[in-house]
Amino acid sequence: MSLLRRWREFGRTQRESLRASNHPHEREQGDPTPVPDDILADVLPTSAQSTGAPVTTGDGEKGSDDGATDGDAKEGFFTPHPERYGRLGRPLNRQSPFYMGFFGGIGVLAALLLWHTIGRLTTTITLLVVAFFLTLALNPLVEALTKRRVNRGLAVTIVFAGLVGVFALLGYVVVPPVVSQGSELVQAAPGWLNEVLASKWVQDLDASYHVVDKVQEEFNKRITDGNFLSQVFGGVLGVGAAVIGGIFQAFTVLVLTLFLLASFPRVKQAAYAMVPASRRPRVTSLSEEIMRRTGSYAIGQVAVASINAVCSYVMMTIVHIPYAAVLAVAVGFLGLIPMVGATIGAVVVCVVAVFDEPRKAIIAAVYFVIYQQVENYIVAPRVMQRTVSVPGAVTVVAALAGGTLLGVLGALLAIPVAAGLLLLYEEVLLPRQARH
């Protein structure tokens, strides 16, 4: 059949279907398709009265039409008359342009509503994703304790207490030096300003261009400007609100992680139950392997970053680089970022050291160059040998994509996500393509 004939046949079928749906009571001669006499014929047993069929009563006896009607009326049971509102028409033609356009528009509106809803829930979804990945990272520790015949509730308590203790220790190490050194900076700032103003080159510059007077005049003008003060206090309040919001979000993540850890087996079983039974074993095995790789990667990355932080602290203590504890914590956190985190941490340490003494900066730079080689070829392979195996190019692309979408958090989550996608590529896509 040619394309033109097929197109004409399709148009004729559409017109007949549309005509039949618009005139449901006009039936052609010889049409074997019956039209239901009653809209409740398949639901209500008394609707059989309209066809003259015997009706079975509650006692199992067959009664006549009139008797059934009287009995039902006495019981308050309503039997609709088949011709009261006309005969039941044919269903709406699903190939009608109006039908397709209307429900297509409803689908578009539903998609837009879902998109806007997800946009408003971005923060909540992000917190849930972070809590889920923390759960995957801590679950191997809980499983290791449960294998030693420790109750899961007690194992979750031990692991979570250890996590809170680590954060408390980091806060104890970082917060007091930052507070004390910040107060020292505020107290020393006037003395540094007087030394700068008393220097010879500033005095020569002021004698030629009256720089000090202009600076004082601009400072007094800014202080008396209401808009400037509102901007300053607004910025301070904004920073305070951001800090409080960050603390609240961190607490929320910890609570979600605790609940997910406690009920993780039930959560997995509930998720697997939604998969068809024929595919459930394969989906379960793939999901378990993805979660195992993700958790192992997180633990391995934390271990590598912790070794880097401890070794950096020892080096900075020997070389007498200031703020060694704070810088070691910064190096550890930056080491969690794939590919570039350790390099950024080394640059931060060298910048701080160069302001104290350039010789210390050179020593720190040499140390970090040597340590990077040791970490890349000895530490990382031994720690990460049982975790994910992601090619270098995929790692770089995944880190860049994750950083573009979600910043530092996206870069941290990109590698385990890429590892899971690679597993699906190897175990699902390639075998399916090989069969065709």
Same domain, 75 and 218: no
Give dist(CA 103, CA 94) in Å, integer.
10
Question: Please, is 58 exposed, middle or buried when counting C-beta atoms within 10 Å of its C-beta (0-12, 13-18, 19+)?
Answer: exposed
Give dist(CA 215, CA 210) in Å, integer.
9
- 64 pLDDT more than 60: no
Diameter of the chain by CA atoms? 122
The pLDDT of residue 181: 67
Cα 95 from chain centre: 39
Same domain, 244 and 363: no
Same domain, 321 and 221: no
* Closest-CA residue to 18 (of 102, 86, 99): 99
The pLDDT of residue 436: 74
- pLDDT tens, position by position, 296-320: 888 888 888 889 999 999 999 999 8
- 388 pLDDT more than 70: no
- 109 pLDDT more than 90: yes
- 376 pLDDT more than 70: yes
Residue labelled with tokens 């923390």: 134
- 422 pLDDT more than 80: yes
b/e per residue 335-354 (b: at least 16 CB within 10 A) = bbbbeebbeebbeebbebbe
pLDDT band at 355 (very low <50, low <70, confident <90, very high): confident
In a domain, 387, yes or no: yes
- 384 pLDDT more than 50: yes
- 432 pLDDT more than 70: yes
Percentage of the residues of the chain whose pLDDT score is greater than 90: 10
Same domain, 86 and 222: no
In a domain, 142, yes or no: yes
pLDDT band at 291 (very low <50, low <70, confident <90, very high): confident
Contact 390, 419 (CB under 8 A): yes
For residue 172, the surrounding DSSP H or E stretch is helix 152-198
Counting the structural domains of the chain, the total is: 3
- 63 pLDDT more than 70: no
Cα angle for residues 172, 178, 184 (degrees, 5° grid): 135
- 54 pLDDT more than 50: no
The pLDDT of residue 75: 45
Average pLDDT over residues 238-252: 80
Give dist(CA 248, CA 293) in Å, integer.
30
Give dist(CA 218, CA 229) in Å, integer.
14
pLDDT band at 76 (very low <50, low <70, confident <90, very high): very low
Same domain, 109 and 152: no
Same domain, 229 and 353: no
Same domain, 240 and 315: no
- pLDDT tens, position by position, 144-182: 899 888 888 899 999 988 888 888 887 887 778 767 766
- 136 pLDDT more than 70: yes
Highest mean pLDDT among 295-304, 343-352, 401-410: 343-352
Same domain, 69 and 197: no
Contact 80, 94 (CB under 8 A): no
Contact 47, 41 (CB under 8 A): yes
- 58 pLDDT more than 60: no
* Closest-CA residue to 375 (of 304, 296, 278): 304
C-alpha dist (Å) from residue 339 to 241, 297, 352: 32, 14, 22
- 49 pLDDT more than 70: no
Question: Please, is 214 exposed, middle or buried when counting C-beta atoms within 10 Å of its C-beta (0-12, 13-18, 19+)?
Answer: exposed
Give dist(CA 174, CA 249) in Å, integer.
20
In a domain, 287, yes or no: no
- Look up residue 353 and give its two tokens: 């050291």
Three-state DSSP class for 235? Answer: helix
Q: 90 Cβ partners below 8 Å, 6+ apart? A: 20, 21, 24, 35
Where a domain ends, among 225, 258, 274? 274
Using only the alpha carbons of the chain, give its radius of gyration. 37
C-alpha dist (Å) from residue 254 to 132, 153, 323: 10, 16, 29
Residue labelled with tokens 């009139």: 66
Q: At 282, give phi and psi (nearest 5°).
A: -70, -45
Same domain, 131 and 104: no
Q: Which of 104-118, 122-136, 187-201, 249-263 has the lowest mean pLDDT?
A: 187-201
pLDDT, the chain, mean: 77
- Look up residue 299 and give its two tokens: 């633990």
In a domain, 332, yes or no: yes
- 272 pLDDT more than 50: yes
Same domain, 167 and 241: yes
In a domain, 108, yes or no: yes
Same domain, 370 and 428: yes
The pLDDT of residue 158: 92
In a domain, 341, yes or no: yes
* Closest-CA residue to 331 (of 354, 356, 304): 304
Three-state DSSP class for 228? Answer: helix
Better-scored residue on pLDDT, 209 or 292: 292
Where a domain ends, among 274, 296, 320? 274
Outline where 263-375 has alpha helix (H): 264-273, 280-319, 324-334, 341-356, 358-374
- Look up residue 229 and give its two tokens: 């003060």
Contact 300, 384 (CB under 8 A): yes
pLDDT band at 235 (very low <50, low <70, confident <90, very high): low
Better-scored residue on pLDDT, 182 or 37: 182
Better-scored residue on pLDDT, 73 or 420: 420
pTM: 0.61
Q: Which residues pair with 108 in a beta bridge?
A: none
Where a domain ends, among 66, 82, 113? 113
Better-scored residue on pLDDT, 236 or 378: 378
- 113 pLDDT more than 90: yes
Query: What is the domain range of residue 221?
Result: 123-274
- 334 pLDDT more than 90: no
* Closest-CA residue to 69 (of 55, 59, 83): 55
In a domain, 293, yes or no: no
Average pLDDT over residues 380-401: 73
Better-scored residue on pLDDT, 194 or 42: 194
| CA dihedral over 183, 184, 190, 196, signed as positive or negative | negative
The pLDDT of residue 315: 92
Same domain, 107 and 167: no
In a domain, 279, yes or no: no
Q: 384 Cβ partners below 8 Å, 6+ apart? A: 297, 300, 301, 304
The pLDDT of residue 342: 87
Average pLDDT over residues 127-134: 88
- 189 pLDDT more than 80: no
